[in-house]
Amino acid sequence: MNNLKEFLDEKVIQYNQANFIENDPIQIPHAFTKKQDIEIAGLFAAVLAWGQRATIIKKCKELINLMDNAPYDFIKNHTLGDLKPFLTFKHRTFNATDTLYFIHFLQQFYQKNDSLEFAFLPKNMPADEVFPSVESALKHFHQLFFSLEDSPHRTKKHISTPARKSACKRLNMYLRWMVRHDDKGVDFGLWTRLSPANLICPLDLHVERVGRMLHLFSRKQVDWLTALELTENLRKFDALDPVKYDFALFGLGIEKFVK
């Protein structure tokens, strides 16, 4: 176990570097400096993150360009006519219906809140309190996101929830981006109401293959319980920042460490 920790720690150092950004969807929010721009661009980049990374990045740039490369200003101030170009936007099964609802939800939300962080937190939560449960945070976000009267049923497949036993890989990746903080410059660490210690490792194809080969989980299914099992084993290596090992597992998968 100690040898595995040393190996993974070395891989975290190797991959958790600024040069990671240029080939990853996280480059989309990294194009911005304003907190709300980062939150919005990051959410779209995470939700669209399936398929080839080059295609994901291309489609995310296309979407952000439709927002005049100023997502927060667009979300807050767009008119009905400004939405017409989005009617032809599509990435895999994410289509115009989904895009327009995302924009509608975000507009409604930012009219009352100055950070998307609050969409993951219960109302009336004390300002100095750290919310301990990512599972509850994800469930809360899902419920809030689809609380508007016109929420389309088809869009629910794009916002996962542990309540449906999903591994929630894209939203866990988004939370990693927003919550984790270190001096490497990849993750943003903008949000403080969730703790890095409580984050759940994003369980994508690369992480699954490498994690399974390294015996970091035993479940055959790829679901919420598998993500929990993986993360609990990573906490044995670093209880305060277990999800830093996402860099190692993902990087090893990209390297085709698992043949």
pLDDT tens-digit readout, 54-75: 999 999 999 999 999 999 999 9
State residue 134's pLDDT score: 96
Q: How many CB atoms lie within 10 A of CB 225?
A: 14
The answer on pLDDT for 257 being more than 70 is: no
Q: What's the length of the chain?
A: 259
Provide the whole-model pTM.
Answer: 0.96
6, HSE (Cβ side, Cα atoms, 13 Å):
3
Query: How is residue 65 written in tokens?
Result: 């360009």
Show Cβ contacts of residue 84 under 8 Å, excluding neighbours closer than 6 positions. Answer: none
pLDDT band at 259 (very low <50, low <70, confident <90, very high): very low
What does the pLDDT look like over 18-42, one tens digit per residue? Answer: 999 999 999 999 999 999 999 999 9
- pLDDT mean across residues, the chain: 95
Q: Which amino acid is residue 210, in one-letter code? A: V
Statement: residue 255 has pLDDT above 90: no
